[in-house]
Amino acid sequence: MGRPAKASIDLNALRANYRLAQQVAPQSKSIAIVKANAYGHGCEACARALEPLVPAFGVACIEEALKLRAAGITKPILLLEGSFTADEVAIAAREDFWVMVENDQHVEQVRASHPAHPVQVWIKVDTGMHRLGMAPASLPAIYAQLKALPQVAGEIVVATHFSSADMLDDHSTISQMEVFSRACEGINAPRSMANSAALMGWPDARADWNRPGFMLYGATPFGRPHEVADQLRPVMTLSSGVIGLRKVAAGSAVGYARSWVASRPSIIATVAIGYGDGYPRHAPSGTPVLVNGQRAPLVGRVSMDMITVDVTDLPPVSLNDPVVLWGGELPVNEVASYAGTIGYELLTRMTGRVPLSYRGGDE
């Protein structure tokens, strides 16, 4: 009943991908990153499915963490962007959130806080991403300051983030690891470096704590085949159905701005999905979709609620036939490449209009 657009989430695949992360780095602990609504997959359901397996979760901000607590999630949650105000530090201590300290203001927020008990702190070091984090040279002093504060729990984790770990021929990742290693000299603290790409592609980045995110949802960060990433199982299948069929003559235009014109008599299927659902507006004619499991090209402009697909070369298509936009046999990264973006964006830009359904909830 209702509009056919939906996203099916395979929780067994999600768990299998997390286990792959563990298998690749068995000596590490791996935090499951569920920021941005678990990359569009629904943070509450994904966290519930993963909670028996993981030591902790990671989110961008305290609002995301509180949402997980409200859903009954009890494992520690790392706030990757740190605190934004001093009162968040006390909330973090109360709720067992771990706070990333990335600048002097964060240090002062911890110092000014009055938590009921000490808060777990991570320190971010900027080794070349130049986005967030302390200068490497300042790490010893910052570490000593935080260790001396009664507001800070005993063990501090030191972390960094790579700019180009998904580019396996880019040696800047090695350079960043070297900067990080030098910065940590003399500091006896657990370390965290690897995101999904580094965990799979850079063995030396597998430290005490890893932070897999994108790989958990079954998509590869690499632009070429990779022995580990190729074992990932897609978690989301975005699907819809055919809601219109028409024959158009050669020379007929389809869609807004008449951007696609039929070069031959064609059969056009209209599908209930559009940029109002999160499908990329800039996907050009030729972007593949699966109609009844077979590839067919998108034609014309993506509109808010619908796309049009040329099904002339397919076996007869009927109203209500199933259409897959990505998932399984059509990787989200492939669709993203047509649209000039990345799979991360397509997954995280999913709108609330597309209902999420889950399977494999119980192991």
pLDDT, tens only, 269-284: 999 999 999 999 999 9
Question: Which homologous superfamily does the CATH classification assign to the domain defined by 11-218?
Answer: Alanine racemase (3.20.20.10)
| Inter-residue contact 159 to 100 (CB < 8 Å) | yes
> Is 67 among the residues known to form the active site?
no
Residue 164 is predicted with a pLDDT of 97
* Location of structure tokens 């350079």: 175
| 361 has a pLDDT exceeding 90 | no
Name residues whose C-beta falls within 8 Å of residue 86's C-beta, 6 or more positions apart in sequence: 108, 109, 112, 113
As a whole-number percent, the residues of the chain with pLDDT over 70 amount to: 99
- Alpha helix (H) residue ranges in the chain: 11-24, 35-40, 43-50, 62-70, 86-95, 104-112, 139-148, 172-183, 196-201, 332-338, 343-348
pLDDT cut 90: percent of the chain above it: 96
Which of these, 161, 226, 227, 217, lies nearest to 344 by C-alpha position? 217
Q: Is 256 a catalytic residue?
A: yes
Give every CB contact of residue 84 below 8 A, 6+ residues apart in sequence: 61, 62
Check if the beta carbon of residue 242 is closer than 8 Å to that of residue 225.
Answer: no
Whole-number pLDDT of residue 86: 86
**Any residues with CB less than 8 A from the CB of 254 and at least 6 apart, and which?**
248, 260, 261, 262, 268, 299, 300, 308
The predicted-structure confidence for 132-172, as pLDDT tens digits, reads as follows 999 999 999 999 999 999 999 989 999 999 999 999 999 99
Q: Which CATH homologous superfamily contains domain 236-359?
A: Lyase, Ornithine Decarboxylase; Chain A, domain 1 (2.40.37.10)
Q: What is the pLDDT of residue 363?
A: 59
Count Cβ atoms below 10 Å from residue 188 Cβ, excluding itself: 7
Q: Mean pLDDT, to the nearest integer, of 202-229?
A: 97
Cα distance between residue 40 and residue 46, in whole Å: 10
Confidence band for 328, pLDDT divided at 50, 70 and 90: confident
- Of the candidates 6, 67, 217, 256, the residue annotated as catalytic is 256
**Helix, strand, or coil (residue 170):** coil
Averaged pLDDT of the chain? 97
> Which residue shows structure tokens 């008599």?
265
pLDDT, position 154: 83
Q: How far apart are CA 240 and CA 271, in angstroms?
A: 7
**What is the 8-class DSSP label of residue 343?**
H
Domain limits, the chain: 11-218, 236-359
| pLDDT for the residue 362 | 67
Closest alpha carbon to 78 in 156, 6, 164, 141: 156
User: Which one is catalytic: 18, 35, 275, 279?
Assistant: 35
What is the per-residue pLDDT for 174? 98
pLDDT at position 353? 95
Per residue in 29-83, pLDDT tens?
A: 999 999 999 999 999 999 999 999 999 999 999 999 999 999 999 999 999 999 9
Which tokens belong to 161? 């983030």
Q: What is the pTM of this model?
A: 0.96
